[in-house]
Amino acid sequence: MSEIEEAINRMKKVHLIITGPDGSVARSNIDLKSEVNKYIYNIGELIDKARNIVRDVDPSNDMTLLRFTLRKHDIIIAPGKNFRIIIIQETNKDATTEEKS
Amino acid sequence: MSEIEEAINRMKKVHLIITGPDGSVARSNIDLKSEVNKYIYNIGELIDKARNIVRDVDPSNDMTLLRFTLRKHDIIIAPGKNFRIIIIQETNKDATTEEKS
């Protein structure tokens, strides 16, 4: 596979989702029936929990970015006041078959 | 302040905590009465939740790294089978006073 084709294929595996604060999807480039979509709703709850933990400890602190590295995906979440930006990138499975600790 | 002093001061602000799977602290270089410590126990619960979400969607997937960017801290968590490594770095407050979205 040429370098250009590889780069294009990598881009295809980047999913962008913009949701409202309630988790409703406002903009997305993914098939909403796909497996990736299953993460979104559950993750919304997780973001709220994480933000609350941070603010409970120090109200002047706040979460600006949350990043999950999974075996199969990289998930980056930017929680805003009125919307959330979620980026899900599929990682190369072959490159992430390192042994578990 | 010289460059070297700055670098040393930055290092002082890096906290390393190793906990058991139950959240008990095994090794740490932080004052356990400090504010930073308050995050640890709450974060443990969050890790479990995040891992469960990932595994519920796809049992062959797993979380290998979790990263929170806060206004005042960067928190990196590497969840292992028998222990968790938590790194908390204090960020320069002056550098993170960007406007909220």
Query: Is A39's CB within 8 Å of B54's CB?
Result: yes
Least confident stretch, A23-27, A48-52, B70-74, B97-101: B97-101
The predicted structure's pLDDT at residue A88: 87
pLDDT for position A94: 47
So what's the pLDDT on residue B77? 92
Q: 3-class SS at A21? A: coil
Q: Is the pLDDT of residue A101 over 90?
A: no
- The answer to whether ipTM exceeds 0.90 is no
Tokens of B37: 């410590």
Sign of CA dihedral B96, B12, A66, A6: positive
Query: How are strands ordered across the β-sheet holding B84-90?
Result: A25-28, A14-19, A84-90, A73-79, A63-70, B63-70, B73-79, B84-90, B14-19, B25-28
Chain B residue numbers with beta carbons less than 8 Å from the beta carbon of A68 are: 50, 54, 63, 65-67
- Residue A39 pLDDT > 80: no
pLDDT computed for residue A2 by the predictor: 83
Q: What is the mean pLDDT of residues A12-22?
A: 82
Q: pLDDT of B6-27, one tens digit each?
A: 877 777 678 888 888 777 788 8
B51 pLDDT exceeds 80?
Answer: yes
pLDDT at A96: 41
Query: In the 8-state DSSP scheme, what is residue B101?
Result: -
- At A100, the pLDDT band (50, 70, 90 cuts) reads very low
Q: Report yes or no: B85 and B75 within 8 Å, Cβ to Cβ.
A: no
* Inter-chain CB proximity A43 and B53 less than 8 Å: yes
| pLDDT for A38 | 74
Residue-level pLDDT at A46: 84
Is the pLDDT confidence value at A20 over 70? yes
Residue B97 pLDDT greater than 60, yes or no = no
Of A35, A62, A68, the CB nearest to B57: A35
Across the range B21-48, mean pLDDT stands at 76
Are B54 and A38 within 8 A, CB to CB? no
By the 10 Å C-beta count (0-12 exposed, 13-18 middle, 19+ buried), B72 is classed as middle
**What digits encode the pLDDT tens for the residues B56-84?**
888 888 899 999 999 888 999 998 888 88
Answer with the residue of higher pLDDT: A50 or A44: A50
H or E element in which residue A17 lies: strand A14-19
DSSP string, A51-68: HHHHHHH-TT--EEEEEE
Inter-chain touch B57–A67, beta carbons under 8 Å: no
What are the structural domains of chain B? 3-93 (3.30.450.30)
